[in-house]
Homo-oligomer: A and B are copies of this chain.
């Protein structure tokens, strides 16, 4: 059962996904970091070898027109890159200013033609590539949701005007995905970035009406799921959390992008909601993607401090310091987001699927759904997979 994947944003995450997947498929490395991938491939199907990256979009001039092989060499100069990555070439996407402030030269299709045209061109490329799953990993965008589908249709027509500013590129891609679903076949759109999409009713309805699926929002790959499991650990022992501090600093382009206060805000919101959701009370917390320091590269540094009250008034203290390779953390999860999305499509499910979101996403859709600890979410996901007879 083949799964044909299109990537939006051929950056660190997108490229790590492509490279890691091909190396696993070629038997060069084990599938560590893929939840259901190792020591054996636990999913009945699709198998890891069934995943094919067939399309890629970016707006960075340094990438558009290059093969994934060439892009991968930029990220991993010392690695032997799989030859299979020569088969896909990065297409130009829709920009709408999403890279503002970043040190790169970006241009979108909408600068050559109308936005409506741009959308259609992308849809026809996806059609040729027979895409099943679209993975969104473009630069962090902020947005409170589409809200109203007509408004989106309008914005596309008006070349991207949106609430006095610009339409987020993600919403334009989502519009394209829905057009694809109408005209070609049902599709799954996995939104791994912080912008609101699977938590937006209009977006979920749009998918449902087209027998399609939207998953999201914001991949739960790093410090946040760890914090959530630590809080769950304390909650189950009924220890009273006095305060939570979580600092994040990294040196990749994503952290640089987060220096922009708007983008940072988007990230912060998804991170903070977990405290109340898990503890049941809103313990004072300071949880932020805090800074950029170039020499850290993709291996971010996270520092947490949690102080809590135990039995008989005793005060305990927990300090957690982590070095996490940011992009592989998400890329490994995305492999199984892709596979579970395909399973859901095959079963004719539509709208969004909380059981998938709750484990894989920081801010799980649909709107109003709670963050739960990852370990509890994992049990939910396992149950879902069992119900779908997807486990070996």
A286 touches B238 (CB 8 A): no
Copies of the polypeptide in the assembly: 4
CB < 8 Å: which of B38, B284, B324, B376 contacts A293? B284
CA distance A345 to B330 in the complex (A): 48
CA distance A307 to B329 in the complex (A): 14
Q: Restricting to A232-267, which residues have a CB under 8 Å from any CB of B? A: 232-233, 236-240, 242-243, 245, 247, 249, 251
A379 within 8 A of B: yes
Binds B, one of A135-143, A200-208, A295-303: A295-303
CB < 8 Å: which of B232, B249, B291 contacts A375? B232
Q: Restricting to A214-242, which residues have a CB under 8 Å from any CB of B? A: 225-226, 229-230, 232-233, 236-240, 242
Instruction: Find the B residue at minimum CB distance from A249.
Output: B245
A32 within 8 A of B: yes
Q: Restricting to A253-292, which residues have a CB under 8 Å from any CB of B? A: 280-281, 284-286, 288, 290-292
A369 to chain B, nearest CB (A): 19
CA distance A251 to B286 in the complex (A): 11
Q: Which residues of B contact A309 (CB under 8 A)?
A: 32-33
Q: Which residues of B contact A375 (CB under 8 A)?
A: 229, 232-233, 236, 373, 375-376
A118 within 8 A of B: no
CA distance A316 to B226 in the complex (A): 13
CB < 8 Å: which of B30, B247, B284, B310 contacts A328? B310
Q: Which residues of B contact A328 (CB under 8 A)?
A: 310-314
Most buried by B among A36, A249, A291, A301: A301
A184 to chain B, nearest CB (A): 30
Q: Restricting to A118-148, which residues have a CB under 8 Å from any CB of B? A: none
- Given A311-B16, A311-B332, A374 contacting B236 (CB threshold 8 A): yes
A384 within 8 A of B: no
Task: Flag A312-334 by CB within 8 Å of B: 1 or 0 each.
Answer: 11111111111111001101110
B307 touches A38 (CB 8 A): no
Interfacial residues, chain A to chain B (CB-CB below 8 A): 16, 19-20, 23, 29-39, 225-226, 229-230, 232-233, 236-240, 242-243, 245, 247, 249, 251, 280-281, 284-286, 288, 290-296, 299, 301, 303, 305, 307, 309-325, 328-329, 331-333, 335, 373-376, 378-379
Sorted nearest first, the 6 A-B pairs with minimum C-beta distance are: A33-B311, A311-B332, A20-B312, A314-B325, A303-B303, A243-B295
Known: A238-B332, A285-B293, A312-B332. 10 other contacts (CB 8 A): A31-B238, A32-B311, A35-B237, A229-B230, A236-B374, A249-B305, A303-B319, A310-B325, A316-B325, A318-B321
